[in-house]
Every structure is written in structure tokens, then in C-alpha cells.
């Protein structure tokens, strides 16, 4: 890797990142257990429209370093802050999918909006996924324990099985792509098993309500109403209600993996929001 796609962090680990094009920066934060490659369609599209597009592999994911510690939303947000400072980004649009949406929210919650113009939360884990006293309709702990078990027992097989629900391929009349499912597995297998295991608690248990309140910039929320991974009713819908300046777009029948299954619609909606 060149100096332009590897950033050494304060703790000595490093982030792999892509930095394409020129113009207003758009920064992408991917979901679990994927990599920056999950946003390749949107990056290609928006770079061709005159924007600078940047995406990193989260620590312990993809081609980034695999440290033992630091797999929590605070550290993910701080890593993102180091990247934006390293690149001296100004007026950036931050786009986060799933876990990446939590990362974007915590980044703004911890580091403010000085460098940020707008944000987009796609199928995001905000404000919180797990069932709690204040989130009684959330996902129960046993679901996340089953994910942990799957990662430990045979993560390749588990990732393949999970991809069916992730992209909605388990629905009648879905347009299943075996290649997309294999890519999901390949991206997941690049990551550290320790980092991916720890990230399950990070994406499911982190309370991001206060972070959403601090997102005072215009924020687009996109969520599929058939998301089998991060439920719309307790995440996307609630996040849009908490955000100070939110616009909500619901994809009818949309799965969790709409950046792939609805990639053209996502790209068009992103461009329209960026230009608005």
C-alpha cells in the first residue's frame, strides 16, 4: 500500500482507506462484517459526478490493522476523526451504513460538526438495537448471542447464511446473486475474528440517542421497511424522530443490504440530498 491509503493511528495500528476523485468530500463508513468495498457502487457513481469519495476499512475489518483492543464505538469514532484530520477534510458529507451509521453518529457526538456539512444514515443501528427498558421493542440479547456463536463456530458458513437475510434473498421472488453472497463472505473473512466478535456488542448495545441529538446538520435517513437485520420501526424510524434536522426515505420491501440491492436508487438519493 502507498502512503495515501494507509494511515498510522495514535495507538500504532493503521487504517486502510480509499481516496478517489476531487471536489467536496464524501466519507463512507461501512457495516459489519464488511469493508470499504461495500460502498464501491456509490463511490464510483459520486466520484464520476465530481466529488471526492473516501472510505476506510474499520479497525480489525478488511485490510486495516487487527489490534486486540479498541473495538467499540468510541474508538471507531476517534479513528474516523484521525482520518478526517489527516486528510484535512472540510464541509464533508458522512455516509454510514448499519454499524457505520453508529460510527458516524458517535463521531459527530464526540468531535462535533466543524468538519461536517451533512450526514446520511443508511439502515443504521441508531439509536440502539438491543432490547432495553427504554427500547422495549428492540432485538433480544439471544439474537446477538447467536451471532457471536456463529462467528466462533464457523464464521465463513455463518456469514454465508447471514447474507440471505442481509440482502433479502430469503424472500419470495428475490433476485438472488450468488456472487454478492460470496463477496459478503470474502469481505467478512478478511477481518480479525476478535475484532468482529467484539464489534457485535458495539453495534448492538451502544446507546446513540445523545449523539443523534448533537447531529444538528441536515441528515438523511434511508431504511428498508423489510430490513431483517436492523429493524426499521425501532431504529430508522426512531432515529429520524430524534434527529434535529432529518429527512426520512423508506424503501418499500428494502432489505438491510440496500446499498447493493438498490444501488442505483441509493446513489440517486445520495446525489439529490448532497445537491439540495
Q: What is the 3-state secondary structure (H, E, C) of the chain?
A: CCHHHEEECCCCCEEEEEEECCCCEEEEECCCCCCHHHHHHHHHHHHHCCCEEEEECCCCCCCCCCCCCCCCHHHHHHHHHHHHHHCCCCCEEEEEECHHHHHHHHHHHHHCCCCEEEEEEECCCCCCCECCCCCCCCECHHHHHHHHHHHHHHHHHHHHHHHHHHCCCCCCCCCCCHHHHHHHHHHHHHCCHHHHHHHHHHHHHCCCHHHHHCCCCCEEEEEECCCCCCCHHHHHHHHHHHCCCEEEEEECCCCCCHHHHCHHHHHHHHHHHHHC
Q: Which residues are catalytic?
A: 98, 227, 256
Amino acid at each position: 500500500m502507498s502512503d495515501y491509503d494507509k494511515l498510522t493511528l495514535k495507538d500504532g495500528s493503521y487504517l486502510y482507506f480509499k481516496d478517489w476523485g476531487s471536489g467536496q468530500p464524501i466519507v463512507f463508513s461501512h457495516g459489519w462484517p464488511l469493508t470499504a468495498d461495500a460502498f464501491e457502487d456509490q463511490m464510483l457513481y459520486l466520484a464520476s459526478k465530481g466529488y471526492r469519495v473516501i472510505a476506510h476499512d474499520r479497525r480489525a475489518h478488511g485490510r486495516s490493522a487487527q489490534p486486540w483492543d479498541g473495538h467499540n464505538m468510541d474508538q471507531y469514532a476517534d479513528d474516523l476523526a484521525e482520518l478526517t484530520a489527516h486528510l484535512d477534510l472540510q464541509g464533508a458529507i458522512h455516509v454510514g451504513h448499519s454499524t457505520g451509521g453508529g460510527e458516524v453518529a458517535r463521531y459527530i457526538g464526540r468531535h462535533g460538526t466543524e468538519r461536517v456539512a451533512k450526514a446520511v444514515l443508511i439502515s443504521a443501528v441508531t439509536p440502539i438495537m438491543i432490547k432495553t427498558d427504554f427500547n422495549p421493542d428492540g432485538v433480544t440479547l439471544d439474537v446477538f448471542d447467536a451471532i457471536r456463536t456463529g462467528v466462533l463456530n464457523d464464521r465463513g458458513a455463518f456469514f454465508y447464511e447471514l447474507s440471505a437475510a442481509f440482502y433479502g434473498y430469503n424472500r419470495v421472488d428475490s433476485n438472488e446473486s450468488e456472487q454478492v453472497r460470496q463477496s459478503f463472505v470474502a469481505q467478512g473473512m478478511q477481518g480479525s475474528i476478535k475484532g468482529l466478535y467484539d464489534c457485535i456488542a458495539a453495534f448492538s448495545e451502544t446507546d446513540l440517542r445523545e449523539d443523534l441529538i448533537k447531529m444538528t446538520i441536515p441528515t438523511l435517513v434511508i431504511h428498508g421497511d423489510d430490513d431483517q437485520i436492523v429493524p426499521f420501526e425501532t431504529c430508522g424510524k426512531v432515529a429520524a424522530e430524534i434527529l434535529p434536522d432529518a429527512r426520512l426515505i423508506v424503501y418499500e420491501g428494502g432489505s438491510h443490504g440496500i446499498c447493493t440491492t438498490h444501488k442505483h436508487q441509493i446513489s440517486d438519493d445520495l446525489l439529490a440530498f448532497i445537491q439540495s
